[in-house]
Structure 1
């Protein structure tokens, strides 16, 4: 038996070598010109093998589709800022849990190691505001001292982080994941001496402005090349950027309607990320237990001793309670979450019905005097700048860089005595929303989704929406990251 198995392995190995050697000798040909790809004799035009996008660390694939976005119950506050409408969301990835304290501490550690000596303000500006726990009429000082740094809270969601800080974290995470992929592939070696501008940044690496410690590099098929080159995005090795989810993506993922789909229809709508209108589980083992962390009523954050209901007076750990049908945790309760969108009350009336989003500010890479990519900045990052009016002049799909206020906040959308004069005076929302006088809406207002440990049951519905300025933070707001899905909507799809 052993001899037969050994012979089989030898034959299988020889077959593999034969196939491998044959595939190495043959080159795929262009269906357009008939020329061979990946052949140095033909100039070395390289075509990567078609491959599925790998799932980045911490992410879950969300199969896209059509759903009814917006409020599913009557608002007791009569804000009417989220009327229901049918939209389609492309497939994407989202974090299985909120970003935890330990993940954010890893980020702070890296910033301190790379920028701490020369740019201590970078580290300081990234720290969460632990003072958000203070209350003039409550004793929360122990949370100020312990919640972010004590090991007992390391798997709890990070709070006190502004929208701006959350975006910076997502950018850092993108670079660290891509650097790890290059190291795992043997392209680069780990460089423990990265400091100041000499640190791995995905854009800088792709622009040829970061070299790092090259281990093997990528084989260069260009006959005029050096034989080794940097990885290009076309090689399919690097992942797209981590970022905050859009409001539509977050709401779609939270509802998890994939569990209620039969053929081409949703057989049961959802008010929460679970079926039914209640907030307790009907599982026999846990019958009657709350399925989310929220404020049950006035003065009741966790129930009575000996029989706690949701079991948490503040945020619970990020993997607590039951996941929804996408396998995502705490999309209702625990902490509210930042999303990418700028807040406007009329957004549901005007945004696209495909990947809806308000907040576009179109940018290009900054160029030098010769038309090449300008040198990276002192932190090692490629510089971007808003597109110019000249660059947008002949566009039909947009006419300027900043589209935050388009159709809800710009000059044309306001009702003024001189509206017909046609002269656009204001570039921000002040032409329609008088911040600080009649409203708190400004260009810095960002959408916050979901309920928190300090909210009542109403905000557990994914359709609810609130806002906070992008440079502010709270003890009730955390975040999670998302990433675009490239190629087919599902693995192995069209």
Structure 2
């Protein structure tokens, strides 16, 4: 009896030792490649081995990617040929729950005004270039001065979608938002001292805003090289030997950006509620279920499900219980969300997306994360061999065709240049920096296209794919802007500076509420009916939850 007990005890010890040894050998803090320790306190390779999942950034909703039919699938009464159905697949991403509001944009303006004070001649055009055009509300035969004077800044409109913002401004807001969110994350994780962003706003490091990309590539130069005095005391548990966060730390969030047209349309359709096994049941005309714009539910029967123009002279309906609650834009979340939890994906304001407009969607060239507008750049390297960072004296300003001046990059951000032919040499996936016109092929829309023209002679007007206006803006000897309008007869607005906007607005009839509808406008122009919302790519797994076994 005693012998059997001893044997059992010995067996238990051996099994336990084996289990412990296996755990030790397969520890996540031990390299499976070399056997060396990861995250050793004495140094060595540092990596976030406990990373589980990308956190959901402020204001965003998770959208699981998948396949869908992009383009018009029913009621094509106009026979539009620019949204022919194509099968597309998008990766998982995040989308703003609502459109960017006035108060969100005012926070951006407040930051720019404090960090880059416009009274400083070097920074004057940074703040002025970001200001929305409030004159978009004016109408030659209408009295709209109350919106011109109040819509952007008055608290009564705080949670209304911002308008008067062109595509360029929307992109720059997204870049600013990326940096502010990551700056807050670094402060939360102890890489930056608490209160740093307020020190920046109070002018302690004027003209040196935080840039995520610059921090990752040259952190010691952040805040004009003053980051040491603003360094946090705490350190990430998985990066205890380093004073700066890295990409491998896993805490830096991807960029806020404008959604691609495919992402926006996929999110607006919200086909999740139509799914049956690996198919969608039927086709959706609007972001909600059903064929009508009014609710059929008992508690809200007859209520409009979006803010749009119902007919000539009818922007809200007859005053009273059946009114849709808005004559111009409406406060966000005034109408029910779609099945993904996104508000106002139809109506309220139309929204800028990232894509350059073309009538044809070339799904033969690509049907995965489709996007037209790639202009590839690389970080500029200074004479000292380090990455070049924009300073107050090296800001580059672009003058848009309408005369508005905008900063290409803010001080503190990385300076970039176009990739060269050497960078793209023998690459099978791209061959040049600017790919906006890649495989356009829309011969029927142009008078000038010449497939046999000399590719090296870019001065030929025949090289232009579309016969679009070419306005010129220059300065005279006194520095005054000189605007020269293109006086030639033109046949289209389409060129590489024209962007897509999606969704109906408060000014549009129900026809435009279909997520498949697409329109375009020059990227430097703004209106009283176009706003935007941001998106963010997801890194890692496609889904947040693992698929459960089928019983």
Provide the TM-score with structure 2 as the length reference. Answer: 0.80
Cα deviation digits, residues 287-325 of structure 1 (max 9, x gap): 011100000011101111223431211000011111000
Which aligned pairs between 1:428-467 and structure 2 lie closer than 5 A? 431-436=464-469, 437-467=490-520
Query: Does the CA-based 8 Å contact 2:38-2:44 persist in structure 1?
Result: no
| Alpha-carbon separation, structure 2, partners of 1:46 and 1:123 | 39
Cα deviation digits, residues 200-222 of structure 1 (max 9, x gap): 11112112221531121547999
| Alpha-carbon separation, structure 2, partners of 1:371 and 1:362 | 21
Does 2:163 align with 1:159? yes
Alignment match, 1:368:
382
What is the CA-CA distance between 1:138 and the residue it aligns to? Answer: 0.5
Query: Does the CA-based 8 Å contact 1:280-1:287 persist in structure 2?
Result: yes
What is the CA-CA distance between 1:421 and the residue it aligns to? Answer: 5.3
Cα deviation digits, residues 172-203 of structure 1 (max 9, x gap): 11111011111112221222232444221111
Q: Provide closer, same or farther for how the CA distance between residues 410 and 296 of structure 1 changes in structure 2, counting only shifts above 3 A.
A: closer
Alignment match, 1:35:
36
Q: Provide closer, same or farther for how the CA distance between residues 416 and 470 of structure 1 changes in structure 2, counting only shifts above 3 A.
A: closer
Which aligned pairs between 1:72-471 and structure 2 lie closer than 5 A? 72-116=73-117, 117-118=119-120, 119-189=123-193, 190-191=195-196, 192-194=198-200, 195-206=205-216, 207-208=218-219, 209-210=221-222, 212=227, 213-216=230-233, 218=235, 227-348=241-362, 350=364, 352-369=366-383, 371-378=385-392, 379-408=411-440, 419-420=451-452, 423-426=455-458, 431-436=464-469, 437-471=490-524
Alignment match, 1:56:
57
Query: Does the CA-based 8 Å contact 2:48-2:250 persist in structure 1?
Result: no
Comparing 462-471 and 268-277, the one that deviates more: 268-277
RMSD over equivalenced CA pairs, Å: 2.6
Q: Provide closer, same or farther for how the CA distance between residues 44 and 80 of structure 1 changes in structure 2, counting only shifts above 3 A.
A: closer
Gaps of 5+ in 2: 1-22, 393-410, 470-489
What is the CA-CA distance between 1:35 and the residue it aligns to? Answer: 2.0
- Equivalent residue of 1:125, what SS? helix
What is the CA-CA distance between 1:30 and the residue it aligns to? Answer: 1.7
Comparing 376-385 and 296-305, the one that deviates more: 376-385
Q: Provide closer, same or farther for how the CA distance between residues 220 and 184 of structure 1 changes in structure 2, counting only shifts above 3 A.
A: closer
- Equivalent residue of 1:419, what SS? coil
Query: Does the CA-based 8 Å contact 1:217-1:230 persist in structure 2?
Result: no
- Equivalent residue of 2:147, what SS? helix
| Alpha-carbon separation, structure 1, partners of 2:43 and 2:179 | 34
Query: Does the CA-based 8 Å contact 1:294-1:334 persist in structure 2?
Result: yes
| Alpha-carbon separation, structure 2, partners of 1:301 and 1:430 | 45
| Alpha-carbon separation, structure 1, partners of 2:248 and 2:33 | 19
Query: Does the CA-based 8 Å contact 2:389-2:412 persist in structure 1?
Result: no
Cα deviation digits, residues 98-135 of structure 1 (max 9, x gap): 00000001111111110014312211111110000000
| Alpha-carbon separation, structure 2, partners of 1:82 and 1:160 | 27
Cα deviation digits, residues 271-295 of structure 1 (max 9, x gap): 1101121111111111011100000
Provide the TM-score with structure 1 as the length reference. Answer: 0.89
| Alpha-carbon separation, structure 2, partners of 1:429 and 1:179 | 48
Q: Provide closer, same or farther for how the CA distance between residues 416 and 128 of structure 1 changes in structure 2, counting only shifts above 3 A.
A: closer
Gaps of 5+ in 1: 1-21
What is the CA-CA distance between 1:438 and the residue it aligns to? Answer: 1.1
